[in-house]
Amino acid sequence: MNNWLDGFAKLHSFKFIGDKVLFSGRMLESKNYLESVEKKELVPQLTLNAFLDKRNDWNFLELLKIMTKMKEGTAFDNFNPMVWRFGAKDKEKGMYMALTDSPSAMRFNISDLSSMGLYLPKMIPFPVTGCAHPLREPGTDNTLWFMTKVDVIGNKFVEIQRYRPSDSFSEPEVISVFKPAKTSMVHSFSVTEDYIVLFMYPLDADPLDIMAKKFHIMEAISWKEKTDTDVYVIKRKDGSVRHLTTRPMYSLHHANAYQINKNELVVDLCEKNPNALKDYLTVGKIFNPPKTTDWKHVKSDEFSRWKINLQNNTVTKSIFVDSVNNPFVNMLDFPVINEKYRGKPYCYLYGNSLIDYTRTAIVKKDLCKDGGDKVWYKENHYVSEVWFFPTPGESLPEDDGVLFTIVFDGNLKRSYIMLMEAATLESIAVSYLPFNVPWSAHGYLFPEAQF
């Protein structure tokens, strides 16, 4: 394998009560994983990057096997990197799923992490992509999601979906269907009080090129630097769609969005250099990081705010001032918020900031006032994504809660979990783990999964 995300998915679970922690880990037993274990070699499947050794590449018969699996929806069942609950907030009735940008999902048992099988959407019209970052519909326990599909004559369209607790995985409510100006690799989206917002970037992988590149997806992506980004604003109530455009840009992760009024929206994005997507996570780069760091802010990777004016049909960008003079604060990614503020005006955003692979920090971004940004950084300690656990209760400050993260101690070569005060980024407790945990992303808090 040549891409970090091509490693087979493993679930980790941490359950807390008082000073006790239950730590569990279990491989996600997808069909391709189990067959590969049985054969003691990788069975034909889609991967992100090409193999390190070209002699290992798929032969003609193996390529035909992958094409068959694509029709069955099983060509890409390695569900890095997200977990989510569809259905009821109940550890017996809820559907706990591992996701990627595939339209299918792998269900697992939230109590013992055992795999419960592959879940597929309806295969007609044929689903091409899903979304690794579903969202809760504000004020409900519904899940919002979208898929790119293709009809019988090859036209692609986007389907905006709502999963109510009573809906099955294959039969969600369809909010809206529209044909985009172009297809795009989209990893996340935003929701506000009235709208769903999709940014569709001038970056995609042509299906024929994927086949030509032997089903290694990242080898086929192309960035059209002179093509606009399409912005779609979908009204949740009636499914109506507004199409706007803005300059070429790319983002993996939306942080949050909200409405100033009926015609003005704010969307916060973590921008990324689209040209780095193809090889940023390849093992050659990860294992050989730059020996020195210049600690400079990288403009292509900045956190940015986009204002959408539906009356004037404009989408404009602004950036945040670095008021604490720290290169980490405006380059954060893997954004996390207090979910009570999803789709609403908010002040605090948490995330990771990475410089040259080896300098990794936790950032608290204050979006409402200058000078409120905070950074946790420790040389030779490598942080994973943080998760925010709100303090139970009403009328509490937005940042009243605890942050959780997994850190690798490069000096001791051991992983540990850390709890932090969300308001101050001060460490509350640290516990070294009996096993090392590779860098992890996109976990979720399921408070119904009791100790």
Q: Look up residue 165 and give its two tokens.
A: 């607790």
- Whether residues 119 and 254 share a domain: the answer is yes
- Write out pLDDT tens, residues 414-433: 999 999 999 999 999 999 99
What is the reported pTM?
0.96
- Write out pLDDT tens, residues 249-284: 999 999 999 999 989 999 999 999 999 999 999 999
Percent of all residues in the chain with a pLDDT value above 70, rounded to a whole number:
100
- Whether residues 314 and 338 share a domain: the answer is no
325 belongs to a structural domain? no
Last residue of a domain, one of 287, 319, 351: 319
- Whether residues 132 and 273 share a domain: the answer is yes
- Whether residues 160 and 232 share a domain: the answer is yes
219 belongs to a structural domain? yes
Residue 333: its pLDDT value, please? 95
42 belongs to a structural domain? yes
Residue 437: its pLDDT value, please? 93
- Whether residues 226 and 368 share a domain: the answer is no
Q: Tell me, what DSSP letter sits at residue 276?
A: G
At residue 255, φ and ψ (nearest 5 deg) are -90, -55
Q: Which portions of the chain are predicted below pLDDT 70?
A: 451
- Whether residues 256 and 387 share a domain: the answer is no
The beta strand positions in 186-330, using DSSP E, are 190-191, 195-200, 203-205, 221-223, 229-235, 241-246, 251-259, 264-271, 303-309, 314-319
- Whether residues 251 and 400 share a domain: the answer is no
- Whether residues 243 and 278 share a domain: the answer is yes
Residue 188: its pLDDT value, please? 98
Residue 419: its pLDDT value, please? 96
Q: What is the number of residues in the chain?
A: 451
Residue 20: its pLDDT value, please? 87
Last residue of a domain, one of 263, 295, 319: 319
81 belongs to a structural domain? yes
The span from the CA of 296 to the CA of 195, in Å, is 37
408 belongs to a structural domain? yes
386 belongs to a structural domain? yes
Residue 126: its pLDDT value, please? 94
413 belongs to a structural domain? yes
Unique residue bearing structure tokens 């780069």: 285
- Whether residues 274 and 349 share a domain: the answer is no
- Write out pLDDT tens, residues 346-369: 999 999 999 988 899 999 999 999
- Whether residues 267 and 185 share a domain: the answer is yes
324 belongs to a structural domain? no
Number of domains in the chain: 2
- Whether residues 306 and 341 share a domain: the answer is no
Look over the chain and give the mean of its residue pLDDT values, rounded to a whole number: 95
Q: Is the peptide bond before 447 cis (omega within 30 degrees of 0)?
A: no
- Write out pLDDT tens, residues 126-153: 999 999 999 999 999 999 999 999 998 9
- Whether residues 415 and 439 share a domain: the answer is yes
Residue 298: its pLDDT value, please? 80
Residue 42: give the domain boundaries: 4-319
Residue 110: its pLDDT value, please? 94
Written as one letter, the residue type at 81 is P
Last residue of a domain, one of 268, 288, 319: 319
Nearest to 48 by CA among 235, 265, 205, 237: 205
